[in-house]
Amino acid sequence: MMTNKEIFLIKAKVLKAIREFFANEGFLEVDTPTLVLSPDPCPFNEVFKIEGKNLYLTTSPEFYIKKLLSAGLKNVYQITKAYRDWQEKDPLHLNEFTILEWYRHNADYFDLMVDCEKLVNLVFERLHSQVQNSKCKVQNENEKLKIINYQGKKINLSAPWQRISCKEAFRKYANVDLDKFMDINYARKICQQKEYQITENNSWEELYHQVFLNEVEPKLPKQQPLILYDYPAPLAALSKIKENGPNYAERFEFYIGGLELGNGYSELTDWKEQEKRLKADIETRKIKGMKVFDYDHEFIEALKSGLPKTAGIAIGIDRLVMLFCDAADIHEVTPLFL
Amino acid sequence: MTTIDTSAIKKGLCIMFRDAPHIVVEKTFVSPGKGSAFYRTKLKNIKTGNVLEFTFKSGEKLEEAPVEVQELQYLYCDGETLNFANPRTYEQFSLAKEMASDFFPLMKEGETYQVYIMDNQAVAIRPPLKVRLLVTKSEPAVKGNTVTGATKEVEVETGYKVQVPLFIKEGDIISINVETGEYVERG
């Protein structure tokens, strides 16, 4: 077990390396509020409401950073706190966590994938620079090869990382044709064949995730980082739908050692589509009995005024710290947190 | 047979899964970021001992396995076998230690536990929500030496080590949550 001091030292170095990376890339660090009137209504993340006031803690800085982008800022990043009210405690989520988001001007999700490779490798180098002259030969060999040990697995962080599309992953690991699976009736049939418990009420997203969590995610390679990309359109969230394939969205997530660390998009810039999705999210919240609030009209106004082509991503800093502390549980690297 | 919802899944519960009785060995809540809630479990087939992983959607219905539960006194551990007796009939039962999995470090000789019985064989333990154990070793706290600021490690009478608040001392009885393995309260 690491001491508090060791954990904070690693966390401080991680944050310092992140800031160094963005300074080198010419990004501006911005600050946006965490206390807001209209948080992201995404129906998978419940929000914390301030008692007696119409104020909420943000689940991510995304809407506010996009307001800045619409107002003319270009390459920006933010390191801030985000809050999500999870139903139960689990080893990978905190109610309060540190989030890094960055937005690259005139870029798409493939550009972000390269950013992720470079950023994680710089963090690795900065964490290991001080032990360079030391004792262990094996360690020095590992440094050259950019190998870390995480939960008993050796992981080579060197770029390029392996990339696999959701469609390819479903075909390879679950023997499912995702193009056909997009149809909910076909998806139900497949899930029944696979002996999953299916009811009329199950949404397409639940069917997708049941196959993904049981058959795909456990089999994703863990010896090196992995980028899973081109998510099905119903999981587009705030991403742009692919021009050449309306079933998929320009969204990716990356995993290191089985830990999901980041979620990036070619950003949706069409205000009409964005407003439609926000309204649909609020309706879903009502059905699920979640907290309901008005969507952020200022955000839609900002998109109307013009959000230039941009790609943005969020990384969980506490998870990145878990990786470099070899921690299996996020609570191990966040002493004193609830 | 009792029907339960996925939210009632807990370690040690014996459920029917694909027509065979399974013990829940592990349970974690999963929320795949931009998706609904799921429960990731490890299930051990109590007939074959095979372990499999399965992820349930939140809200799925499960049947508790039709397995008899008896209150048995835990006598002793002899290598890889746990020995029990029914305190009323004196009937003896043995159970492979691995079937107690995470609960074993919290088991105390002489205590009574609920044990699943199938075909007159003990097949698994149905762990209680919490156990009360005596603190037998407690070092004075060293400032800044632990991950959680205001806790220290103590050892209880079964040899199990647990993080507790600083006011706990040797000779105290503490309650430990069996599911999480964490300290609950003094007394």
Is A134 a residue whose pLDDT tops 50? no
Residue B12 is predicted with a pLDDT of 80
Cβ distance A205 to B37 less than 8 Å, yes or no, reads no
Worst-scoring range by mean pLDDT, A145-149, A186-190, A205-209, A292-296? A145-149
Q: Which strand ranges, in their side-by-side order, compose the sheet holding A162-165?
A: A28-29, A76-83, A96-105, A310-316, A259-266, A248-256, A226-232, A162-165
Cα gap A56→A20, rounded to integer Å: 32
Cβ distance A263 to B34 less than 8 Å, yes or no, reads yes
Residues 6+ apart with CB under 8 A from B119: none
Residue A237 is predicted with a pLDDT of 85
Which residues on neighbouring strands pair with residue B5, listed in sequence order? B61
Cα gap B163→A1, rounded to integer Å: 12
Interval A43-82: pLDDT, tens? 999 999 999 999 999 999 999 999 999 999 999 999 999 9
**Mean pLDDT of all residues in B123-152:** 77
B28 vs A contacts (CB less than 8 Å): 90-91
Closest residue in A to B58 (Cα–Cα): A206
Residue A81, classed as helix, strand or coil, is strand
Residue reference for tokens 């103590």: B154
Interval A105-117: pLDDT, tens? 999 999 999 999 9
Name the residue among A202, A214, A235 with its Cβ closest to that of B55.
A214
Cβ distance A212 to B145 less than 8 Å, yes or no, reads no
Interval B153-184: pLDDT, tens? 899 999 999 989 888 999 999 999 988 888 99
Q: In Å, how far is A237's CA from the nearest CA of chain B?
A: 7
Residue B6, classed as helix, strand or coil, is helix
Is A190 a residue whose pLDDT tops 50? yes
- The percentage of chain A sitting over the pLDDT mark of 70, rounded to a whole number, equals 96
Model pTM score: 0.85
The confidence band for A143, taking pLDDT boundaries of 50, 70 and 90, is low
Residue B166 is predicted with a pLDDT of 85
Is A291 a residue whose pLDDT tops 90? yes
Q: In Å, how far is B133's CA from the nearest CA of chain A?
A: 24
Cβ distance B60 to A44 less than 8 Å, yes or no, reads no
Q: Give the type of residue at A192.
A: Q
Which DSSP letter does residue A270 get?
-
Is B57 a residue whose pLDDT tops 80? yes
Higher pLDDT, B150 or A280: A280
Other CB atoms within 10 Å distance of the CB of residue B171: 9
Average pLDDT of chain A is 93
Both tokens of A302, joined, read 């900002």
Q: Which strand ranges, in their side-by-side order, compose the sheet holding B112-118?
A: B92-96, B81-85, B68-78, B112-118, B121-126
8 A C-beta contact, residue B28 and residue A90:
yes
Which residues on neighbouring strands pair with residue B1, listed in sequence order? none
**Mean pLDDT of all residues in A164-187:** 97
Q: In Å, how far is A273's CA from the nearest CA of chain B?
A: 18
Cα gap A65→A122, rounded to integer Å: 25
**Mean pLDDT of all residues in B109-132:** 89
The confidence band for B141, taking pLDDT boundaries of 50, 70 and 90, is low
Closest residue in B to A93 (Cα–Cα): B31
Which DSSP letter does residue B70 get?
E
Interval B19-30: pLDDT, tens? 899 989 888 888
Name the residue among A91, A206, A237 with its Cβ closest to that of B34.
A237
Angle at A211 between CA B3 and CA A329, to 5 degrees: 80
- A vs B, Cβ pairs < 8 A, gives 78
**Is the CA virtual torsion B60, B66, B70, B76 positive or negative?**
negative
Is B84 a residue whose pLDDT tops 50? yes
